[in-house]
Amino acid sequence: MVIAVFTGVAGSGKSTLIASYYKWLKRRLITRVAVVNLDPGAEVLLYRPTLDIRGFFTLEDVMRKFRLGPNGAFIKAAELVAENIDKVLSKEPFSNLEEWDMVLVDTPGQLEAFILRPAGSKVLQELSKRGNTVVVYLIDSSVVENVADAITLWLLGFLVQVKLGLDVVPVLSKADLAKNVSALKSLVDKDADVSRLFDTLEAKGLVADLVPEFLHLVNKTRGAFRAVAVSAVREEGLEELHFLIHEAFCGCGDLT
C-alpha cells in the first residue's frame, strides 16, 4: 500500500492532477484507491474524497473562531490537524488501510504554511508510519518562463525533501501549457548537463556568482528519480507518474 502526498506551490494543479490520476487508476488498473483532502480552504473538489478535513473544520471556521486572516488561518489549520492527527487517522481510509492499494493525499496550496512548518511535518511523519509514503512535488510548467524559474522551483522541492526526510519525486505539471520547453527538458532528462543552462541565463553580480553553484546543486539533487511531465487535462504522463511513485519503494531501478 502506497500513500502519495501531492504538494507544490499554489496553483500548481495538485487537485486537478489527483482527480485525473484517480480516474486513470480506476480505469486502467482497477486499483482500490482512496483520496484524502487536507485542504480546509478548498471550495470545489474534482474528486469525491474518502476523508475530507472540512468535515472537521473549514478555513472559514478557523478564521471566524480565532479571528485570523486567510494566511494566519492556514497556519492555524495545519496546527489543528497536527493536534488532532490521531482522530483524523482513526477515520477511513487510515482506519482500514489493508482495504486500499493507494491513498492519494491532497494538501493546501499554501506550501509554506503547511509542508514547511513544524505542524505540517508532524502530519506527514504520522502518515509515513501508516504505510509507504512518498511526496509528489509539482513544478508548474506554465509559470516557468526562464531558467531562473526552473532552478527556483526545483530547489524548493529539494528543500521540501530536506524538511520532511521523505522521498520526494518531481513532477512537471501542466505540461500542455509549458512556456520554456528547453529549461524543463533539462530537468526531465536526468542525463542532461544543467550547467549549460547558465549560458542562457542573464545574470550579473552576486547572482552570476551563485547560479553555477545552484546548477551544480540541481545536478546533485536530481538523484535516482527522474522528473516526469504530466498533463491532467490531456491525461498524459499518468503512467510514467505511476511508475515514478512506485520506484521510490522498489530496488529494481527504473520501472519504465
What does the pLDDT profile of the chain (256 residues) look like in tens digits?
899 999 999 899 999 999 999 999 999 887 899 999 999 999 999 999 999 999 999 999 999 999 999 989 999 999 999 999 999 999 999 999 999 999 999 998 888 888 888 998 999 999 999 999 999 999 999 988 877 787 788 888 888 888 888 888 889 999 999 887 766 666 666 665 555 555 555 655 666 666 667 666 666 666 555 788 899 999 999 999 999 998 887 654 444 4
253 part of a folded domain: no
Distance between CA atoms of residues 113 and 132, nearest Å? 24
Q: What are phi and psi of 171, to 5 degrees?
A: -130, 130
Residue with cell 511535518: 121
116 part of a folded domain: yes
142 part of a folded domain: yes
Give the helix/strand (H/E) hosting 245.
helix 238-247
pTM of the model: 0.88
Distance between CA atoms of residues 148 and 144, nearest Å? 8
* Cα dihedral sign, 83-85-16-166: positive
Query: The domain that contains 163 carries what CATH number?
Result: 3.40.50.300
Q: Given the DSSP bridges, would you call strands 2-8 and 132-140 parallel, antiparallel or unpaired?
A: parallel
Q: Quick one: angle between helices 147-164 and 181-188, nearest 10?
A: 30
For the chain, the C-alpha Rg in angstroms (whole number) is 18
252 part of a folded domain: no
169 part of a folded domain: yes
Residue type, 170: P
Distance between CA atoms of residues 250 and 144, nearest Å? 31
* Cα dihedral sign, 136-251-27-187: positive
* Cα dihedral sign, 51-62-110-130: negative
Residues 6+ apart with CB under 8 A from 64: none
Domain of 172, in residue numbers: 2-247
256 part of a folded domain: no
17 part of a folded domain: yes
Count structural domains, the chain.
1
173 part of a folded domain: yes
Distance between CA atoms of residues 95 and 203, nearest Å? 52
Distance between CA atoms of residues 192 and 194, nearest Å? 6
